[in-house]
Amino acid sequence: MPKYIYEHKDWTDFVWNDKAINSVFGEVKLLQGKIIGQMNSVGFSAKEEATLTALTLDVVKSSEIEGELLNYEQVRSSIARRLGINTAALVASSRHIEGVVEMMLDATQRYTLPLTEERLFGWHAALFPTGFSGPYAIEVGKYRTGEMQIVSGGMGKEKIHYEAVKPQLVKTEMDKFLLWFNNNNQLDPVLKAAIAHFWFIIIHPFDDGNGRIGRAITDMLLAKAENSGERFYSMSSQILEERKRYYEVLQKVQHSDGNITEWLEWFLNCLKNAMLDTEKTTQRILLKAEFWKLHENTKINERQRTILNKLFDGFEGKLQSSKWAKITKVSSDTALRDIKDLIEKGILQETSEGGRNANYELKNFRIKT
C-alpha cells in the first residue's frame, strides 16, 4: 500500500505546477469579476434573490453529497429569515436544518473572523444537535478520539478507501492548519480555498460531517476572495455534479508526496463550471427583476404572485389550471379566473399546443432552461 500524504515528513509543504493551473486559474478570476460586475449592475432585491438562491443550493447540495436530502423550501425560508430577506410564504424548518444553515451562514457572512477550534466545534455541534448521526451516537463538538476509515462494501468485503490521521495527532495537525488558515495571506484566497479543502479532508478531524465542514471552509475563503458575504454561485452544487471525479482525485492525491497539482486543477475547473452555471441563474434573476419592475403598478393577487415567481424560479413541467389550483389550494374555477385575469393583462398566454388541458406560459418573457 503506498504511503498516505500525511505520512511524509513536512507533508503540508504542498507544491504544484503553476504552468498546469495558470490557464484555468485565470479563467476563474475573470468569471469571478464578470459575475460580481453583473450583479452590481442589478437592483438590491435581485442581488438578495441571487444570494438566497446560491446559499440555499449550497446547503441542500452539500448535504446531498453525503446522501441526505433536505427540504429546499425549509432551507430557503431559514436562510431568508436569518438574513432578513422579505420573501413570501416562509415555512417552518426543522432543528437539523436550522443547524446546517447556521453553520453555512457563519462561514459565509462572518468570513473576516478567524477560524478557531471553538468555532469549528460550534459548527459541528450545529450539524448534529442530537448527538447522533442517523442511528449512531457520535462525538459532537470536539475532535474525534477514534480511528477514522472510509470504507465501502458489505461485511467481509470491505474496501478501505482512506485511513485518516491517527486520533492522537488530530489536534496537533489541526492547530497547524488553523495557524496557516488565519495567518497565510500571501496566497490568493481562491487557491487557498482549494488547499484548505484538501488539507482539512486529509486530517478528517471529526467523527462525522467532515465533508460538509470542509465545503463550508471553502465557501468562507471564496467569500473572502470576493470580500463579500453575497454569494452568487454554488460550489457544492457543482461538486455534486462531479462527485465521482471529486472522490477519484482525492483518492489519487491522498497518496502523493506533497504535489497537489491534480487536485488544484480539478478544484479550479469545478469552480469555473459552478460560475458558468450561475450565469444561467443570473439571467433568470435579471428577467424576474425586469418583469416585476414592469408590473410594479399592476394589480396582482398573492396566488398569481406565487405562480409567477415559480415560473421564473424554474417551474416543473407545464402550467395548467389544475396545477395552479393544487399549488395555491383553490378550486378549479378560481384558478381559471386567476389565469384569465393574467391573460387579459397581457402577462400569460395559452401555448400553441391547445387541446383539452390548456397550457399557459409567460408572454414576452422567454426563460432559458
Per-residue pLDDT of the chain (369 residues; tens, 9 = 90+): 789 999 999 999 999 999 999 999 999 999 999 999 888 887 788 888 889 989 999 999 999 999 999 999 899 999 999 999 887 667 889 999 999 999 999 999 999 999 999 999 999 999 999 999 989 999 999 999 999 998 888 778 888 889 999 999 999 999 999 999 999 999 999 999 999 999 999 999 999 999 999 999 999 999 999 999 999 999 999 999 999 999 999 999 999 999 999 999 999 999 999 999 987 777 788 888 889 889 999 999 999 999 999 898 878 888 999 999 999 999 999 999 999 999 999 999 999 876 667 999 999 887 665
- Written as nine digits, the cell of 254 is 491522498
SS3 (DSSP) at 150:
strand
264 and 229 together in one domain:
yes
Domains in the chain, number: 2
The range of the structural domain enclosing residue 38 comes to: 5-287
96 and 50 together in one domain:
yes
- Taking CB atoms within 8 Å and a gap of at least 24, the contacts of 165-168 are 165/6, 165/202, 165/203, 165/204, 165/205, 167/143
Question: Residue 337 — φ and ψ, nearest 5°?
Answer: -60, -45
Cβ(264)–Cβ(22) below 8 Å: no
What pTM, to 2 d.p., does this model score?
0.86
187 and 328 together in one domain:
no
Tell me the longest C-alpha to C-alpha distance in the chain: 74
Residue type, 3: K
Identify the domain boundary among 259, 287, 315. 287
Residue 368 lies in a domain: no
